[in-house]
Homo-oligomer: A and B are copies of this chain.
Amino acid sequence: MFEVAELGHKVSKADYNEKVPTLRTQLLTVQQQLRDHDYSVIILISGVDGGGKGDVINLLNEWLDPRFMRTNAYDSPSDEEKERPVFWRYWRTMPAKGTIGIYVGSWYSNPIAQRVYDKISNTELKVRLTQIKELEQELSDDNTLIIKCWLHLKQEQQKKRLKQLEKNPETAWQVTERDKKHLKMYDTFVGVAENVLTETSSAQNPWLIVEGSDIRYSSLTVGQHILDKIKSHIVHCKQKQEIPPPAQPDKIIHGNQPSLLDSLDLSLSLDKDLYKEQLNFYQGKLNKLARQAHEKKISSVLVFEGWDAGGKGGAIRRLTHAMDARNYQVISIAAPTEEERMQHYLWRFWRHMPRAGRATIYDRSWYGRVLVERVEGFATENEWTRAYPEIRNFEEALTDHGIALLKFWLHIDPEEQLRRFKAREQISYKQYKITEEDYRNRERWDDYSLVVNDMVARTSTQSSLWTLIEANDKRYARIKILQTYCAKLEKMLDK
């Protein structure tokens, strides 16, 4: 596939100087247009050593308006990055909507290097590429434009380039031992790269392969490609908007099949004495386990979802009571901030990923997408439908990183909910929790039941199971949650 980039393309200085001003004007114009749209552009610049990645990136930085773009260089990850799932470092630097992010050393660098050095097998490479494809697909689904450029060099050219650089005392520093080693591994490297590029060139996110021997040629080609891609993306997105969505049948169809939730035995309860005893026991146990997890750098992510007044807050407090406040944070999910709205909806959950050995407890979570956003129509059908695989991938990234992931659904029945609303209104420091909206939501109980069943069915995977909590009795619910978390930590610590 690289033959096309070995033909010795060149651009003369005169030609270059003539073409650049026009290209630059057009790039700036299109960058301005982009500002008004609610999607971002990610430009990946990869390629062989000596292929001129640095030169191309520096030129792009000159040509584009720095106010609405950012170049992110991903060298070896910092300790804060190593402590999180691999994609975290890309999420934290994701360009906001309307802006451009140039990625130097993207999510492709590590898998390629690992395979070249034979640190991962072809099968493992395939798994990594699948994760990358899923990530790119999710971003594309959010209308992010991903432009992938690969700068190629023939082996002789690479050798020549490195020699030139080395001869000149001004540039000799650019040639490292690693480069020389890589030169000898040219065939292996190009073989792996070919595999990776083929595997990850989709119709939506294809790779552009550019000959890197002449910087004028490569930068003009990359610049023109970026221009064309952004232009057609703007047109494409506009067209998509203009197509009226297909007539939407009410997607919430109430069938007759018994649901998972219906099968829960809400009469389960614990008497006060037994509760006290078990609470003491499990909190003591959790305290010890959480400490060990902290030492062994095992992180936890806990998700609490459930009916209003289902007892999420109380259950969370029973957990945190046993934990060290220095090692956990409770993140309550309310309306997104402006910076969060300028990003993919998962961004605001990524940003709170715990450091190694710590825990993040989400009081409501990314599941809002397939619950309230679905029922209330805040998310389009397309958006909430694709949210299921997106969420599965997101959670897989966490569990793959060795994070203990627990998801609790606190289930009560409508009568119990009403009792609790009334009771809350009697307690001074709980009154603020009850609003008109809570009563309104009750009216859509059946709709919510259906989407909750849907959610559990579609996002309970082997590595990331939902724990359904019979929560009509708060005592029973709290103990079951404590037990579940303890069991999970025990299992992870045994490994």
Contact = CB atoms under 8 A, between A and B. Distances in A.
Contact of A78 (B24, B79, B330, B428): B79
Given A321-B62, A325-B57, A339-B338, A432 B32 contact: yes
Interface string A5-39: 00000000000000000001100110010000000
Contacts of A355: 78
Nearest to A29: B429
Contacts of A25: 428-429
Query: How many identical chains are in the complex?
Result: 2
B66 A288 contact: no
A393 B86 CA distance: 37
A316 B58 contact: no
A321 B80 contact: no
Interface string A267-301: 00000000000000000100010010000000000
A56 to B, nearest CB: 9
A28 B429 contact: yes
Contacts of A173: 291
A483 interface: no
15 contacts: A28-B429, A29-B428, A58-B325, A61-B325, A62-B320, A62-B321, A66-B313, A66-B363, A67-B332, A78-B80, A79-B80, A80-B80, A104-B325, A170-B288, A338-B339
Given A57-B325, A57-B326, A62-B320, 11 more contacts: A28-B429, A54-B325, A58-B321, A58-B324, A58-B325, A66-B363, A71-B325, A78-B355, A79-B79, A79-B80, A173-B291
Interface of A: 24-25, 28-29, 32, 54, 57-58, 60-62, 66-67, 70-71, 73, 78-80, 102, 104, 170, 173, 284, 288, 291, 313, 316-317, 320-321, 323-327, 329-330, 332, 334, 337-339, 355, 363, 428-429, 432
